[in-house]
Structure 1
Amino acid sequence: MSGAGRDDTAGRRARAVAAATAVAAAHGLQAAGARVLHDGVNVVVHLAPAPVVARVATLTPLLRPDPARPFGREVALAAALAAAGAAVVPPSDLLPPGPHEHDGLVLAFWQHVEVRPQAPAPGDVAAALTALHDVLAGLPATGPPLDTPLDDLAVFAERAGDWGVSPAVRARIAERAERLRPRLGGPARALHGDAHPGNLLATPDGWRWTDLEDTCAGPVEWDLACLRSTSRLDGRAALDALGGPSDAALAPWLELRRLHAAAWWTVVAAGHPERRERAAAVLAETLGHTSGSAGSR
């Protein structure tokens, strides 16, 4: 990474920490030991010594011009799921969870949980997703079906030239997304929206889902495609454990997942120069992929 890249990364993190600590302080919570836990499309800050985590939208606005909308959806859904007894990381109860805005950044506050260094097996994810879907089935769905991935791809087609994506590539992404729309029907329900094993945390109280920012209404196949597409474990084994559909039946949702993941890889690379080569490879692989076989992430 170049010196400028390191400076940009450090500046993004420092700005996120400053926003999180300022909003927390305005609500009477001091965070002298605040530290960054993760820097991806959002910067995640533990407001130590308080058991509060802030998720700050830093790169997210590149693809989501109004990040308060998905952050608000996430907070509302996580609160409803926690109230219904679902195994999720709940919003903070020590200060208003938000979303808040400070210095042009949108952020929300969450309860800090101890995360153990344990990866789930396919059966663990299958059981956890089945339990989550059982609770989600009783909650209202929000927004048009699959608006999260489809809106993201529309913005990508419009804006990705700013990140070096050619007009031809953007046109192909838009055309493939539009071609998929008629094949994505089915009963709409509330979904996690990004149900892969990286969003399932091992805690002292068992497995807990986190990162509901991509939640949307839609057929359950979208969550299943997110799980099937993971490279963190055998996604096919996980789907088999929950009695999921075949890859052929999931084909349109797997294609949508590939397109959506490629768009977000490009956004990540816009703020993490060391990931640009990988993002370009993912985008090229996605465009060269034949619809109908399983995806990867």
Structure 2
Amino acid sequence: MISTSAAAAVAVSIAEEHGVRVRRPVVLQDSFNLRIHLRPAPIVARVPTVTALGRARPDEVLRRELEVVSYLHKSGAPVVPPSDLLPAGPHVRDGVVVSFWAYVAHDPDYRVTPEEAGRGLAGLHEAMRGFPGRLLYLGPVLEEPARLLELLDGEVEADVLARLREAHAGLAARLEGGPVQAVHGDAHPGNLLATPAGLLWNDFEECMAAPVGWDLACLLRTTRLDGRAALRAYGADPDDPCLPAFMAARALQGTLWMLVRALGIPSEAAAGRAALEAWLRDPSGVRR
């Protein structure tokens, strides 16, 4: 996996080639992806790091995200837009993929309420229904975990890997929940930024074609707020019988990504193991 310093150097180099002066790049986040504020420019560079391990074509993932968010921004939806100060990308150099986004000042301590999250997601889904592009049906839920399971072969106990594979194999037949449309893919309150312009949705890298039940399950499972209240604010029934299958799939997806992150970042091994043990206790995804 590429180091933080190497990824930052690539992002800065590409930005400067497009006339952006970067005096003091600041790492905003270094987890599954690297986000760097290219100070003093109001630009955030995003580089897939851990996520690049689990995706055959991370550039295609960023291209899809940029297309969806550009459409939403032009439609007036509340989203953090791609940067308009240089080509947003995706740029590929030496195996490193970079996209550029507008830097938006926000309050990281703001606590999104269930009502804000639910109503915000309802409005986002309404805006996303008009997206004219083609998105993979449940790609981040069905296709990406298959690749993650391959990476984990030999890294976890054989019997545990067999359980993970069996759970994944049974998902496709279970994940049915009404009409399909473009959805956010990772719709939890952590991806809502409290800005002077209001709450803005961020991080659409898992956007896909799916029933809205997928995003509702993401919101229902969050530990950041009362998910049941958020779904009621959305206008959905938190006891909808279609939701448990999505919750189980979300729990499996999250567990696999935590385990793969530990492969790329050894210091995260304990967190990965804790996620696995939680899933083994309750693969339904109901407990959080």
Q: Into which bin does the TM-score normalised by the smaller protein fall?
A: over 0.9
Report the alpha carbon displacement of residue 128 of structure 1 after superposing the two structures with TM.
1.0
Matched, 1:108 2:99: yes
Matched, 1:72 2:63: yes
Matched, 1:229 2:229: no
Is the contact between residue 47 and residue 96 of structure 2 (CA under 8 Å) also seen in structure 1?
yes
Matches within 5 A, 1:1-297: 12-116=3-107, 117-140=109-132, 142-161=134-153, 164-185=155-176, 186-247=178-239, 248-289=241-282, 291=284, 294-296=286-288
Is the contact between residue 183 and residue 207 of structure 2 (CA under 8 Å) also seen in structure 1?
yes
Q: Percent identity?
A: 41
Q: Distance in 2 between matches of 1:120 and 1:53?
A: 23
The 1:126/1:68 distance shift into structure 2, 3 A limit, reads same
> What letter is aligned with 1:115?
H
* 3-state SS, counterpart of residue 106 of structure 2: coil
RMSD: 1.7
Report the alpha carbon displacement of residue 127 of structure 1 after superposing the two structures with TM.
1.4
Is the contact between residue 55 and residue 108 of structure 1 (CA under 8 Å) also seen in structure 2?
yes
Is the contact between residue 42 and residue 60 of structure 1 (CA under 8 Å) also seen in structure 2?
yes
List gaps (5 residues or longer) in structure 1.
Answer: 1-7
Q: Distance in 2 between matches of 1:274 and 1:220?
A: 35
List gaps (5 residues or longer) in structure 2.
Answer: none
Report the alpha carbon displacement of residue 173 of structure 1 after superposing the two structures with TM.
1.5
The 1:14/1:284 distance shift into structure 2, 3 A limit, reads same
Paired position in structure 2 for 1:3 = none
* 3-state SS, counterpart of residue 203 of structure 2: coil
> What letter is aligned with 2:150?
E
Q: Distance in 2 between matches of 1:105 and 1:165?
A: 28
Report the alpha carbon displacement of residue 245 of structure 1 after superposing the two structures with TM.
2.8
* 3-state SS, counterpart of residue 225 of structure 2: coil
Report the alpha carbon displacement of residue 178 of structure 1 after superposing the two structures with TM.
1.7
Deviation track 1:62-119 (CA, whole Å, cap 9, x = no partner) reads 1112101111111110000000000000001000000111232111000000011312
Is the contact between residue 135 and residue 182 of structure 2 (CA under 8 Å) also seen in structure 1?
no
Give the TM-score taking structure 1 as reference length: 0.91
Q: Distance in 2 between matches of 1:77 and 1:165?
A: 36
Q: Distance in 2 between matches of 1:90 and 1:137?
A: 18
Is the contact between residue 142 and residue 171 of structure 2 (CA under 8 Å) also seen in structure 1?
no
* 3-state SS, counterpart of residue 39 of structure 2: coil
The 1:295/1:107 distance shift into structure 2, 3 A limit, reads farther
Is the contact between residue 69 and residue 204 of structure 2 (CA under 8 Å) also seen in structure 1?
yes
Give the TM-score taking structure 2 as reference length: 0.94
Is the contact between residue 153 and residue 174 of structure 1 (CA under 8 Å) also seen in structure 2?
no
The 1:141/1:223 distance shift into structure 2, 3 A limit, reads farther
Greater CA drift, 123-132 or 212-221: 123-132
